């Protein structure tokens, strides 16, 4: 079974530039998550999708971050314009979704963003 795919793996940009990350979840997984992991910290949830709808985006800095999952499969996360403090690893994860108490989340390898 193929895992969660993310691209690019690395990105270096200057502040005020724009950047986009792509994620393809595991086939059949209804729920998709984007996390931000700053060096030395645990992942922080940015946004959660259930199919093509947003479940929670309360921690997404909406003045500069946006995300979409138009067809309920792959997803893009965009930052425009980037700030120095956006330097982090952006992780995508997916899970089956459904009514179980807990659904295991499977993580992609992440995109390491450096803002200069």
Partner 1 sequence: TQLLEQSPQFLSIQEGENLTVYCNSSSVFSSLQWYRQEPGEGPVLLVTVVTGGEVKKLKRLTFQFGDARKDSSLHITAAQPGDTGLYLCAGAGGSARQLTFGSGTQLTVLP
Asked whether 92 and 107 are in contact (CB, 8 A), the reply is yes
Q: Does 93 bind partner 1 (CB under 8 A)?
A: yes
Q: Any idea which residue has 């030395």 for tokens?
A: 40
Tell me the closest approach of the beta carbon of residue 80 to partner 1, in angstroms. 24
> To the nearest whole angstrom, how small is the minimum distance from the Cβ of residue 102 to partner 1?
5
Q: Which residues neighbour 41 within 8 Å (Cβ) at sequence distance 6 or greater?
A: none
Pick between residue 3 and residue 28 the one whose CB is nearest to partner 1.
3
- Applying the rule CB under 8 A, the residues between 6 and 65 that interact with partner 1 are 9, 40-45, 48, 55-56
By CB under 8 A, which span of 13-21, 62-70, 79-87, 100-108 interacts with partner 1? 100-108
Q: In this structure, what are the phi and psi dihedrals at residue 66, rounded to the nearest 5 degrees?
A: -145, 155
Q: Find residue 92's DSSP bridge partners.
A: 34
Q: Residue 4: how many CB atoms within 10 A of its CB?
A: 21
Enumerate residues 6+ apart whose C-beta is below 8 A from 98. Answer: 30
CB of 99 to partner 1, least distance (A): 10
Chain residues in the site for partner 1 (CB under 8 A)? 4, 9, 40-45, 48, 55-56, 91, 93, 101-110, 112
């Amino acid at each position: 079974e193929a895992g969660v795919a993310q691209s690019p793996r690395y990105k270096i940009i200057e502040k005020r530039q724009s950047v986009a990350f792509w994620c393809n979840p595991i086939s059949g997984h209804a729920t998709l998550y984007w996390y931000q992991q700053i060096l030395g910290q645990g992942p922080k949830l940015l946004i959660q999708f259930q199919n093509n709808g947003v479940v929670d985006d309360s921690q997404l800095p909406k003045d500069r971050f946006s995300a979409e999952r138009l067809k309920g499969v792959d997803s893009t996360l965009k930052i425009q314009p980037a700030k120095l403090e956006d330097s982090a690893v952006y992780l995508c994860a997916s899970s089956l979704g459904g009514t179980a108490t807990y659904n295991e989340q499977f993580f992609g390898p992440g995109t390491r963003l450096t803002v200069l």
